[in-house]
Chain A
Amino acid sequence: MRDARDEVSGRAVRIRNPGAFAPITLLVLVLLPLLLMPLAAVFVFAFQGGPDAFREALSTRESQFALRFSLLIAFATAGVNAVLGTFAAYVLSKFRFPGRGALTTVVNLPIAIPTVVVGTSLLLLWGPIGLLGKFLEPYGLQPMFAPGGVLLAHLFVTFPYMLGSVKPLLDELEVTYEEAAATIGASRWQTFWHVTLPALRGSIFTGALLTFAHSLGEFGATVLVSGNLRLRTQTAPLYIFAQFEAGNLAGANAVAAVLAALSFVIFFLLLSAARRSERQG
């Protein structure tokens, strides 16, 4: 029997030391009210009215739209950032140029910026009264308060995740293979496509999954740039917030339970991917 902690590291460590019992119990006791019970509460409330009430809360047009819209945005965000992020990681890792350090800092900046600030800054750039938006408005181009605006916000907020997943691997990747490819006459593109990219496959997948998960839960920037229009730009987290504020706890909790369950699944996919790469590495 291995416990969950060991699942993470992938090593089978059994508890032999009896002195470990107290700290482990303490940890579980601390984690219970801190992490586990709040999550359990969502599920308890979601199913309070029985499975029929749960299904009914989930079958409203608004909740279905919110879930679908969130998933589509998450897929699009993961797809675009998988390409953009891998490209950024490749450039920053393989080329030496002045300002590389500064650029690396800039692309990682979204991690440090509060998402609400991201939302505000997007509005002040692309919104109808924004720096660029006011020139677009006369042409009927309005990226904010539309699905495109939500996508822009999610691309911004999740940009560093791809980089964080791919770049360390690229930095460590043996140059020998690439050099070998070059000596037999492969172009830079061929080398990338046939040598570098296959080695990155696993980390691109985990990076994309991480991006997907974050996009699914994004709230702070979305609430500002979406205009919170139901059936048009309302994502699942916005739906949960709006329904909760309106006192519809059943509706809010049903969607919250679905989001939480999806996040668990993605998390376990990430764990198993991490374990596999550790075994290989």
Chain B
Amino acid sequence: MSGRFSKAVASLRTSSAFALLIALLVYALWPWLPGHARAAAPRTIVFYGFSILEHAVSEDVFPAFRRTWRARTGEDVEYIASFAGSGTVTNQILMGVPVDVALLALEADARRLADAGVVAKDSWRALPYQGVVNRTPIVILVRPGNPKGIHDFADLTRPGVRVVHPDPLTSGAANWAIVAEYGAGRRAQPDDPEAGYAMLLGIWKNVVAQAASARAARTQFDLGFGDALITYEQEGLWDRARGMLHAEIVYPRHTILTEHTLVEVTRNVAPAEREMVDSLVAFLWEEPAQRLFVANGFRSVNDAVPQPDSVFAKIEDPFLIGDYGGWAVAKKEIVEGVWRDRVLKELGR
């Protein structure tokens, strides 16, 4: 290779490297370059939600609110969102993320925010339905054809059944599932005070994977882990509606109806934005929004909203967190008292 030639190659390489970097920079800056005059900065709502809400809120409910708000005021609303396990979301809010409205998987997380002074104590109870936006029961998803013959929580305690469960540390669904499993045990054998503990121990012996959120657990299950997944009914219904459910939904005889609590973090809401944020909050309980949640597989809190039995199967013995003293009691006595302090200890985890 002649010196001149290799020098030319080297300089060609250098200039193409620089050209590439400049192209990348231009691409990155593109939306902010002059000539992209955008409409006046729209008003913004920052929404945090627990994992399974993503499609319902981002694709359906929020766009519907945006349209109503525009029709009413002529203003555009920008929507910024983040979705994760309810516990993760709560921890982020405790660390100070600039959230306006959060829809949490369970009231226990709202109480954590109140205990830390982020929202006023019980402020969500002043909202419609005590702050509960929608519901969905805890169910079991199994492989097509139900090869392991799983028909109830008790079947998950059999040896050799591998259960995928979300992680109670960060997932709201996991906390609901623990109360569901405990309650199912108690209600099947009302005379035996240890039946709840026995059910939890049996199921947790078989837990092979714990994901950070219900949605993440679902992905693990879809990637082929485990024989059964304990999760929200909504997860199965929404996929079934799209023809993408590669699993079967098993309804336990006794199971809990989860209730999802909305909090408005008023201290983060600028006075000028207050009216808009309040409108969004109110909108969530109005019929159009409730219908959209139902279309996404959630059960509505409003009985006036049609919820066909063909989609939402009847549950033989549904129960509520109120039956176990509300989250203030259930978190302490069941999730911590029984599951954490007894079951995990017994299993040596």
Contact B219 A142 (CB under 8 A): no
Instruction: Give the shortest distance, in Å, between B212 (CB) and chain A (any CB).
Output: 8
> Which listed residue, B27, B29, B46, B95, touches A129 by the CB 8 Å rule?
B95
Determine whether B98 belongs to the interface, using a CB cutoff of 8 Å to chain A: yes
Given A129-B96, A145-B98, A245-B215, A230-B82 contact (CB < 8 Å): yes
Contact A230 B25 (CB under 8 A): no
Given A68-B28, A71-B24, A247-B219, A229-B95 contact (CB < 8 Å): no
Which residues of chain A are within 8 angstroms of B325 by Cβ–Cβ distance?
none
Determine whether A274 belongs to the interface, using a CB cutoff of 8 Å to chain B: no
Give B32-77 interface residues, CB cut-off 8 Å to A: 46, 51, 54
The CA-CA distance from A246 to B306 in the complex, in Å, is 28
Contact A75 B216 (CB under 8 A): no
- Chain A residue with the shortest CB-CB distance to B13: A272
The CA-CA distance from A247 to B98 in the complex, in Å, is 27
Contact B96 A265 (CB under 8 A): no
Contact A276 B80 (CB under 8 A): no
Which residues of chain A are within 8 angstroms of B46 by Cβ–Cβ distance?
229
**Contact mask for chain B residues 75-86; partner A; CB cutoff 8 A; 1 contact, 0 none:** 000001111100
Q: Interface size of B by Cβ–Cβ distance < 8 Å?
A: 32
- Chain A residue with the shortest CB-CB distance to B239: A247
Determine whether B20 belongs to the interface, using a CB cutoff of 8 Å to chain A: yes
Instruction: Give the shortest distance, in Å, between B268 (CB) and chain A (any CB).
Output: 10
The CA-CA distance from A67 to B31 in the complex, in Å, is 12
Contact A68 B27 (CB under 8 A): yes
Which residues of chain A are within 8 angstroms of B17 by Cβ–Cβ distance?
269
Which residues of chain B are within 8 angstroms of A262 by Cβ–Cβ distance?
24
Give B141-186 interface residues, CB cut-off 8 Å to A: none
Contact B96 A232 (CB under 8 A): no
- Chain B residue with the shortest CB-CB distance to A61: B31
Contact B219 A68 (CB under 8 A): no
Which residues of chain B are within 8 angstroms of A244 by Cβ–Cβ distance?
219
Contact B219 A145 (CB under 8 A): no
Instruction: Give the shortest distance, in Å, between B279 (CB) and chain A (any CB).
Output: 21
Which residues of chain B are within 8 angstroms of A144 by Cβ–Cβ distance?
95-96
The CA-CA distance from A39 to B13 in the complex, in Å, is 26
The CA-CA distance from A27 to B44 in the complex, in Å, is 55
Determine whether B92 belongs to the interface, using a CB cutoff of 8 Å to chain A: yes
Which residues of chain A are within 8 angstroms of B82 by Cβ–Cβ distance?
227-230, 234
**Contact mask for chain B residues 8-32; partner A; CB cutoff 8 A; 1 contact, 0 none:** 0010010001001000110111110
**Contact mask for chain A residues 39-74; partner B; CB cutoff 8 A; 1 contact, 0 none:** 000000000000000000000000000011101100
Contact A123 B83 (CB under 8 A): no
The CA-CA distance from A8 to B233 in the complex, in Å, is 55
The CA-CA distance from A69 to B17 in the complex, in Å, is 21
Which residues of chain B are within 8 angstroms of A142 by Cβ–Cβ distance?
96, 98
Determine whether B97 belongs to the interface, using a CB cutoff of 8 Å to chain A: yes
> Which listed residue, A75, A234, A246, A276, touches B219 by the CB 8 Å rule?
A246
Contact A71 B215 (CB under 8 A): no
Given A229-B81, A276-B10, A72-B28 contact (CB < 8 Å): yes
Determine whether A85 belongs to the interface, using a CB cutoff of 8 Å to chain B: no
Contact A229 B97 (CB under 8 A): yes
The CA-CA distance from A123 to B97 in the complex, in Å, is 11
Given A68-B28, A228-B84, A242-B83, A127-B96 contact (CB < 8 Å): yes
- Chain A residue with the shortest CB-CB distance to B98: A145
Which residues of chain A are within 8 angstroms of B98 by Cβ–Cβ distance?
142, 145, 227
Which residues of chain B are within 8 angstroms of A230 by Cβ–Cβ distance?
80-82
Residue with the greatest number of chain B CB neighbours at <10 A, chosen from A128, A229, A269? A229
Determine whether A141 belongs to the interface, using a CB cutoff of 8 Å to chain B: no
Instruction: Give the shortest distance, in Å, between B13 (CB) and chain A (any CB).
Output: 6
Give A103-147 interface residues, CB cut-off 8 Å to B: 123, 127-129, 133, 137, 142, 144-145
Interchain Cβ contacts under 8 Å between A and B, 28 examples = A67-B28, A68-B27, A68-B28, A68-B29, A68-B31, A71-B24, A72-B28, A128-B96, A129-B96, A144-B95, A145-B95, A145-B96, A227-B82, A227-B92, A228-B84, A228-B92, A229-B80, A229-B82, A232-B80, A242-B83, A245-B211, A245-B212, A246-B219, A247-B215, A265-B20, A269-B20, A272-B13, A276-B10
| Pairs A-B, 9 closest by C-beta atoms | A128-B96, A71-B28, A227-B97, A245-B216, A247-B219, A68-B28, A145-B97, A72-B28, A228-B82
Which residues in A have some Cβ–Cβ distance to B below 8 Å? 67-69, 71-72, 75, 123, 127-129, 133, 137, 142, 144-145, 227-232, 234, 242, 244-247, 262, 265, 269, 272, 276
Besides A68-B31, A228-B82, A247-B218, 19 more A-B contacts (Cβ < 8 Å) are: A72-B28, A75-B24, A128-B96, A129-B95, A142-B98, A145-B92, A231-B80, A232-B80, A234-B82, A244-B219, A245-B51, A245-B212, A245-B213, A246-B54, A247-B215, A247-B219, A269-B17, A269-B20, A276-B10
